Amino acid sequence: MLVESPMIRYRQMLSAQTKNEIDSLAASAGQDDQYNAVLFQYALKAFSNGECGGAVYALNALKTLIPGVAEVHYSLGLIHHSLGNCAEAVASFQSALAIRPTYVDAWLNLGKVQIQAGKLKEAIDSFIRVVQLDPGREETRMHIHIHSENGEAKFWLEPEIELAKNYRLSRLELKQIENIL
């Protein structure tokens, strides 16, 4: 019996042009963990190449074949968010969190999509969960970015106003910004 290597299968997936070809390759993926990994890598590669339709199709196939893998649902959420499909992104992130409730990046991206969808209370709850799970995570700390033609700066607003990073702004410009804040 001839056994194909995952690399051969990956190359076949990258050259697949139709949904039927992807379906055929995906059908064998569910039978073997190596093929599942190859199909997942195919989806990520397709997304990075701007082929969102192929990536969503492959991830949906994986979601059916191996429904208990949070990364599959999370990746679908990222793609749907990039496409502006907030409802699908929220559903995908929530599916990832149902599988792994401590998935910090899923909570963070869920919060971002909820803000975009105008669901501020839900977004705050998601960000609170991020802080609870990973207290040192920078993105959750309230901050502001100041941009000018001379450079930019990032200031923490909590627990007190404090310069976090400076990119080419003078001391005088920084002082003026602090006075405004």
Instruction: Render pLDDT for 90-115 as a digit per residue (tens, 0 to 9).
Output: 999 999 999 999 999 999 999 989 98
pTM: 0.65
Which CATH code, of 3.40.50.300, 1.25.40.10, 1.20.1080.10, 1.10.150.120, is assigned to 6-136? 1.25.40.10
Residue 144: strand pairing partners: 155
Residue 85, CA distances (Å) to 41, 53, 56, 102 in order: 22, 13, 12, 24
Residue 139 neighbours by CB under 8 Å, 6+ apart = 108, 130
Domain ranges (residues) in the chain: 6-136, 143-180
User: What is the token pair recorded at 165?
Assistant: 């990073």
pLDDT band at 83 (very low <50, low <70, confident <90, very high): very high
- Quick check: 7 pLDDT over 50? no
pLDDT band at 31 (very low <50, low <70, confident <90, very high): low
- Quick check: 159 pLDDT over 60? yes
pLDDT band at 69 (very low <50, low <70, confident <90, very high): very high
Task: Give me the pLDDT at residue 136, please.
Answer: 76
Angle at which helices 6-15 and 19-29 cross, to 10°: 160
Whether the CA torsion 157, 161, 162, 166 is positive or negative: it is positive
Query: Which residue did the predictor score with more confidence, 25 or 162?
Result: 162
The answer to whether the beta carbons of residues 152 and 141 sit under 8 Å apart is no
Residue 29, CA distances (Å) to 16, 26, 33, 59 in order: 14, 5, 7, 12
